[in-house]
Every structure is written in structure tokens, then in C-alpha cells.
Amino acid sequence: MHTFELYFAAAILAGTPLLLAATGELLGETVGLLNVGIEGVMLIGAVTGVVVTLHTNNAELGLLVGALAGAVFLLVFYALPVVALGTEQILPGFGVWFVGLGLSQLIGVNYENTPVSSGSTVVRLPGIDRIPVVKELIGQYPWPVYLAFVLPFVVAWVLARTRHGRNLRAIGEDPVAASAGAGIAVRWWRTVYVAVNGLLGGFAGAVLAVIAVGEWGTDVTAGRGFIALAVVIFSGWRSMRLIVGAYIIGALLILADLGGALSWPIPSEFLDMMPYIGAVAILTVWALRPGRRAAAPGSLGVRLKYSG
Amino acid sequence: MSLSLPTVTDVHVRQSIGVRSLRSRWTWIRQEPSETRSWICRLIAVVLALVVAGAYLVITVHVPDVLGLVLRTTFTTAPGLQELVVLATPFFLTAMAAQIPLRVGLWNVGGEGQFFAGAWLATAFAFSLPHAPGGVLIIGMLLAGAVGGAIWVAIPVLVKTLLNVNEIITTLMLNFAATYWIAYWITGSWRYPSTQGGTIESRFMPAQSNLPLIHLAGGLDSGLIIAVALTIAVGLAVRYSIFGYRTLIVGSGRAVSSYAGVRVRWVIALSLLLGGALAGAGGVLQLIGNSHQLTPGLSDNTGYLGIAVAVLAGGSVLGVIVMSCLLAVIMSVGQAVQIYGVSSEDVFILIGLLLLLATIAEVVAKYRLVRKVPTGGTARVPKEPVGLAPSVSESSRAAVAGDVG
């Protein structure tokens, strides 16, 4: 039976967009910016990724443009009000979501359900791709899967060990002190990390549409942007724990396919609900864990007012 | 948002306005905006967004006077007006569903799911008592809908009050669960037998549950009247009751209000449950007033758009009514221009822009250009040491994480 290997790989693939988006959001939240509109960013990334891939027959280019589109989109609709004008953070997030929802459908109206013919390059890990079972489990994925897996480790290292990472955490903890006491360019770095958040969110959407689903469809993300938000909270703002959360939800996302293939006696609608219930569940588990102390960056969601 | 208790005017001098020559004589003063001022700024935001949308329409659709044409058919013909009423009705209640928790500083993003859950429980009620007289059925379904909506928000309420789990995510996640829940029932035992292929719908509601038509403009459904009455009643009740006052107190600071003896968790729970109940009743109105079948198309993103209405309306009930009607006009225009190749989902872009501009308007409303007093006056206000100063909006902060409440 290859079912297990097959669904393990499918779960990893389904978890990858979540992991990418959650990593981006975690970086944004590290500098104190809560963006609830990742869903919209992912949709923009997804639609531009598919459109570019269909036109150029180059999935790599599609992914890149999708990521860039996400960054530009978030800079315009989130960094401009929140960082430049000092508005509160949640409402612009909803604005990003709504604009992304509408704009992606406007862009993608003629591309709906057109399958992407060219997939992304599958990387076979040297050495591992000779071992029978292991190679199917971890040895042969499109390259964004490996990138998504490695990124949280890089982020953890940067945040914990480098001067730049400490500066970012200082901004998130107390922007005023970071600016006044440490002379960190708060607005600049916040803008940069909004762009990074958008870049990874757009990339996540493009990976979802171009690689995992293989086509653009209206609201292809189906709440994954918000699940990513749940994954960030579940991680307790420690990037390596994002991996756990994202793959758990990834496994729940393919549950309906699995149930269909193995003809489980459970209605598929209930299996389809599982990722959403799962997101609520992991948040609850996070809140229930012993010795809980809020690990959120101190200024997360706090509105700054600028003068000068 | 004007959802805060009146506070002591806090005066900060805004240091720069960019133009040097003006800087010597004029200065920005920051203060809590008055109700009127923030309303004016929000209205300017709405007008700006509408101008952008109108310009887009005129540029993309090459039909002379397309706007005038569409608006005339909407406002001067009976079908246009009827459509407007049908579109506006569900917004009132889903907007209230978001607005009441907003007073506490909570985001009920689950209006969509609660809307469906209410319609679902009402359908279950109607199908189990198919021969009940119309009045009993209508009232019973509305109550069942309210209960259903409240049940759907119960889990977010539980984890919010006991564990302080972010309600934005939990309420939103349950929207998706609701769509699948509905799909399960209408593809299963409630399925309308002669539906072929693609569309799935439930059997029709018992005929006596259909809301009576009122013969105005060729058949207004009385759902609008129920919706408006319910909105005004709940709005006034919340505004003038102790509970409503407590929601504002909790919204302005949870730690302080619990010190003042307000049972914070209780207020949080009640406001969300009330919101859920209203959204559920909204779902029932749509069911018995308009569609008469439980379908996935029962809500045209009504729950999500309700959030936008609530935000634009600020704290007022009148605002909810005005903004619901405005949104109905926008949706109606959006549907009317579909024949010119504009998709109805484009409306979301407009709504998103509206939200962004409204947020910016809130900031703009806080600043006021005043003439500097030559000696003393504003000049004596100490300069802020750095470019930044936090002004904690406790609601959004506590929404993320923390151990308040």
C-alpha cells in the first residue's frame, strides 16, 4: 500500500502554503504589525501566479511574480495606512482581505479553472532519493516545499542570534524605546517587514494555486490566510513551532481526499470541516498549555501615532 | 471608531505639516474627535470610494451615461426598488451582529456562519412542524434562528471567555464549517428531489411560513419591516440599558472595568451571543422572506459585508440603517452593470477601499488645523521626545493575546 506515503506527501504539500504565509506573518508580527488580511494577499499571489504561469509556461516565473505582487499589494494597502499614516491595524487588515478577494476575481475572471500545464521543478534530494520509502516521504517535492521547511529555522536563527534580529524584536516589543533608546529606524524596518510579509503571503498563494491545486478558482484559498494566523498564535511566536502547526492543519486539509479514497463511512462534508475546526482546536490547545505567558510582541496590534 | 466613552481631550502638537512657511502660523492639534466630526470624515471616505468606483465604471464600460442609466433604473422602477429592499434586508441584522461586539472591542467576523446556522435551525424547526399555522411557524423559526446563531458563536464565546482565544480567528473559521454543515443537510435528507446536477437546495419551506407581501411598489416583502424594527429595538435597548453601558465600559478597558465591578467575561459572552442571535434571525428572514429554500446562495457574503456596514456605521443604529441602504444600492448597481462585463465580486474591491479610507478618516478626524497663538498657547505644550508615541488601543491589543479578562 502506497496510500500512507501518498497522503503524507499530500499533507506536506497542503501545509506548505500555510507554513510560508505563517512565516511571513510571524515576521510582520515580530515588528508589532498584526495583519489579519493575509487571505487577501494569498489570493492576489495565487491569481497573478497562475496568470503569469499560463502566459509564460514557466511556473518558476509565476511563483516569483506572485510573491512580488503580494509584496506590492500589502505595501499599498497595509503599510500605507498603518505604517505611514498611523491608523489602527485590524481594519486595514480587513480592507486588504476584501480588496484582495475582489481584485483577484477581477484579474482571474478569464482564467478560472484553466489547469496550469507546467509544474514547478521537483527537487530530488541526493542520497535520499535512493531509499525506497523515505524518498517518497521526504525526498521528492517541488522546491518551495523545502524552502518553506527551512525558512522557519533561518528566521529563528536571525531573530535569536543576529543584531538585526534583536533590533526587530526590540521594535516589536517597544517601538518608542527602540527608536529613542537604540536609534533603530522603526518605520523603515516596519515597512520592510510588511513587504516581507506580503512577499511570503503572495508566494504562499502562488504555491497553493500553481503547484498544490494547479489552477485558479474563485476564493481558492478558502480561509487558509486566517488559518495561517491561527498557526502563528499556536506557535507562540516561535518560528520553528510554525512547522508543527502548519503540517497538522495540512494533514487535516487532505482528510476529505483521504476519506474518499479509503471510503470511510464519514460524510465528506464533516471531513471538509476539519481544517477549520482544527484551527480552533490548536488555538485552544495553545491557550490551555501549562505555564502560559503571553509571548506576543509587546506592541502587537498597538497603534502608534507619529509626529514628524 | 466613535465607540469609546468620552475621554479627556488629549492635546498633542503635531510637529510638522510639511510646508515650512505655514508651519510658523498653523499647527495640528490632536484631540478625540466629536461624533459629528468623525461622521463627516467617514462620509467623505465613502464619497471618495464611490467616486473611485464610479470613475472605474465609466472608464471600463463604454456606454454613455452608464451610471445615470443604472441609478435611474434602480431608483425609479418598481423592480429596481424591490431589488434594493431585498438586498438591504439581511444587512441590518448581520451589521448589528458585528456592531454589538464591537462596542466591547471584539470582532465578530462569524456573521456569515451564524446567518447560516440560524437558517439551518429554523429549517429544522419548519420541517419538523410542517403543518403548524403560519404565525406559529414564523415566530418559531425566528426564535430558532436566533438560537441557532447563538449556538454557532457559543464555542468562540467559550474559548474567548475562559481562555482568551482570539475571537477573530475562531468566529471566522466557523463560517467555513457552517457552509459544509449546510451542504451536508441539503445534499442529504433535506435535498429538493428534482434538483439536477450542479445546484443543490433544500425542499421548500412550508408555504404558510412565507412572509406576507406588502403591496408597496409592487410587492415589498415584510422582512424589511421586521429587520428594521428589530434593528431599532435592539439598538435602542443596547444604547439605553445597563448592559449596553457596560459593553462600552469593557470596550474602553478590561482591567479597569473588572476593577469597577463589571463582570467582564459575562459582558463579552452576552455581546457575542446577542450578535450571533441577530445574525441567525437575519438568516431566517432571508429564508422565509426571500429564498424559501435553504441553499448555499442564501447569503451573498451577507455576513462579511455586515462587518463593513458596522464599521462604517460606527456606534450608531441610524448609521447601520443608512449604511445598509447604501450598501444595497452599491450591490444593486454592481448587479445591474454585470451585463456590461463587470463582475459582482468587484463590489468587494469597493468595500475594501471603503474600509481602508474609513480607517484613514478616523486618523484624519483626530487632527485639527489651528492657528498658533503668538505667545504661549500651544507652543508651551512639551514636544514629544521621539517620533513615536504609543496610544494603546486596548481592544485590539487584547484581541491578540494576553491574560486580560
Cross-strand partners of B221? B213
Q: What are the cell numbers at A151?
A: 525558512
ipTM over 0.90: no
Q: What's the predicted TM-score (pTM) here?
A: 0.84
Task: With a cut of 50, say whether residue B154 has pLDDT above it.
Answer: yes
- Give me the pLDDT at residue A293, please: 58
B405 domain residue, yes or no: no
CATH number at residue B346: 1.10.3470
Q: Does residue B104 fall inside a structural domain?
A: yes
Q: Residue B4: pLDDT above 50?
A: no
Q: Which residue of B has its CA nearest to A109?
A: B343
Residue at A270 is within a domain: no
Instruction: Name the more confident of A306 and B319.
Output: B319
Give the DSSP letter string of B92-139.
Answer: HHHHHHHHHHHHTT-----HHHHHHHHHHHHHHHHHHSTTS-HHHHHH
How many angstroms separate the CA of residue A122 from the nearest CA in chain B?
A: 32
A78 Cα to chain B: minimum distance (Å): 9
Listed in sequence order, the residues at least 6 apart from A178 whose beta carbon sits closer than 8 Å to its beta carbon are A167, A170, A171, A184, A186
* pLDDT reported for residue B280: 94
A112 part of a folded domain: yes
Q: Please check whether residue B3 lies inside any domain of the structure.
A: no
Residue A24 covered by a domain: yes
CB interface of B with A, residues 368-397, below 8 Å: 384-393, 396-397
Q: Is B6 inside a domain boundary?
A: no
Minimal Cα–Cα distance from A233 to chain B, Å? 8
Question: What are the tens digits of pLDDT across the range B315-328?
Answer: 788 889 888 888 88
**In b/e form, how buried is each residue of A195-233, taking b as 16+ CB within 10 angstroms?**
bbbbbbbbbbbbbbbbbbbebbbbebbbbbbbbbbbbbb
For A279, the closest chain B residue by CA position comes to B173
Q: pLDDT at position B387, please?
A: 44
Tens digit of each residue's pLDDT (9 = 90 or more) over B297-320: 888 888 888 998 998 888 788 889
The C-alpha atoms of residue A237 and residue A295 are separated, in whole angstroms, by: 7
Provide the angle, in degrees to the nearest 10, between the axes of the packed helices B223-240 and B242-252.
70
- Using CB atoms, pick whichever of A102, A267, A284 lies closest to residue B184: A267
Q: Are A279 and A264 in contact (CB under 8 A)?
A: no
| Residue A287 belongs to some domain of the structure | no
The helix-helix angle for B111-128 and B167-187 (nearest 10°) equals 30
| B129 located within any domain | yes
Domain containing residue B170: 12-193+201-400
Structurally, chain B folds into a number of domains equal to 1
CB B203 within 8 A of CB B191: yes
With contact defined as beta carbons under 8 Å apart, do B100 and B317 qualify? no
Arithmetic mean of pLDDT over chain B: 78
A203 CA to centre of own chain? 8
Q: What are phi and psi of B192, to 5 degrees?
A: -75, 120
Answer yes or no: do B389 and A176 touch at CB < 8 A.
Answer: yes
- Please judge whether B351 and A102 are an interchain contact, meaning their C-beta atoms are less than 8 angstroms apart: yes
Answer whether residue B7 is part of any domain.
no
Residue whose C-alpha is closest to residue A45's, from A67, A19, A25, A24: A67
User: Is residue B110 in some structural domain?
Assistant: yes
Taking the C-alpha atoms of residue B78 and residue B366, their distance in angstroms, rounded to an integer, is 43
- Write out the residue range of the structural domain in which residue A34 sits: 3-222
Number of domains into which chain A is organized = 1
Distance CA B54, CA A270 (A): 43
> Does any domain span residue A277?
no
CA distance A302 to B60: 40
Pick the residue from chain B with its C-alpha nearest to A300. B397
Residue written as cell 499560463? A54
Residue B375 has a CB neighbour count (10 Å cut-off) of 7
Per-residue pLDDT at B384 exceeds 50: no
Check residue A156 and give its pLDDT.
Answer: 92
**CB contact B199 to A (< 8 Å):** no
Q: pLDDT at position B199, please?
A: 67
Residue with cell 521537483: A122
Q: What share of chain B is helix, strand, coil (3-state, %, to 5)?
A: 65, 5, 25
B59 CB within 8 Å of a chain A CB: no
In a domain, B2, yes or no: no
